[in-house]
Structure 1
């Protein structure tokens, strides 16, 4: 490295430090913070403070009713990690985890097709998104009748002469989680479909025209134009799918109550909190679930980084 130091550089730094700095009026400086007060207050009230309280409860022994809380430190976490049966229910989440890939694949497929000129595409858009608008409890009771013996599914199979495929869809432990995961795919595919559709429709149409002139077919256009352009949305939906598969609650709770091997980690946490009156242990389970979701999210963001704008 040269020992020569140019006298221009110190003068430039000094001039930069002594430059006149424009001071914004006080109203311009506080206006953005005034707009942020309400959302930040709501975020703190309904997110940060409950999370802190949940962590505090996880360090106590509490039945959830009385005002007396006994400080036990990390005993709830020790009990949680020394009882394998409390974590065994995470295997149920694997059914929903793999089903989420089917869900994302179907949503991306339909979004790609319906983003272009297709006959009755508005009708198909409404049909695909409609299940997401229905209340989860209503969907649970609907599919409870759909899967029951002699219900809609068995009647449909019998109509086509496929009685040999009739099963105890919600009574057989080997089949029940496939049935529940399939219900979740039907319920949440509409959300991912809308996210993908909006991202695909924001792509500049001239890119397709240029690719067509170069001889690119539909698959090549999807691979080299659509997929790279919607990568941030794909990353978001992947995070939502993973966190959703780990925290499944609504569908299995309404349809089976966790019976026949369909109990999830969240259903187990609810049982410990409100049936066994072990709110401290249930809070520890909730904290562990939150930590797992955050860790998975960070790993996913590291593996699939977002593209930086030019």
Structure 2
């Protein structure tokens, strides 16, 4: 009886493992536009099969956004590959499907029927999407004063000096020609708290436009987010972060100076009347992390330190005197001023 139960449990475990490792669940692959995409057969990968274990495999394709039955594109049967009218687009390499040139038209669902030698067939599917990465390593930051473009930079760390009479400026962080769209955001550095705080601002995403050499632009997106910074203190440290991409962060330190023009390290802007670009129309939140919040923090910290420095010694002195009053030996010993009086009387 016990052995029958154990056998039943083992059979159940085997069935569960077989269901978990079967290739029927869709999988998702992303390939760079213009690249060569290799799509392995999940049923073969899950079970550790090789080309020698495969009698045949049939691949079908349904373009993204369409609902009709998928059409056959290529077949592998006993070592022979047969392309069904898509010689320039598809190939088979060691039973894996090869997309020779990934474009928007190759996005969709690729289903398959896998037949190993002497075993039952397995069906499954995978999702394929194209990706377009930004050509630059970091986002671009643009600084506007009085609605005029005064500085742009893409270096990882930038120090920008602005005239001391400038009270407000606008900073835009932007990423161009990416698919999917990059989600970017601004952070401000709080020295007292020793941490970055995210600034609540909604990015703007728009389809990219192109007139010439559009292969890597068509179907991509431009993202930007703009904030209004109030220069209530001498310096302001900001960071633009591209959240869902491999782009590096870019930091900008804004310094007040006596210069008439806007200057920057490593790039210097000498044209004070640069008309530049008009300011973006993205909703721009006010950055109020100036002396308002920081001054309150400094005052509160200073008061707390003063209270600690004054009250703590008084507390310990009180405890010390209280302990002396409770000590009998302290009451029995004559005090120094009494001894001095005694000496004077003797003389």
Q: TM-score range by the shorter chain?
A: under 0.3
Q: Please state which structure has a larger fraction of its residues in helix.
A: 1
- Give the structure-2-normalised TM-score: 0.21
- Give the structure-1-normalised TM-score: 0.22
Q: Please state which structure has a larger fraction of its residues in strand.
A: 2
Higher relative contact order (CA 8 A, sep 6+): 1
Bigger radius of gyration: 2
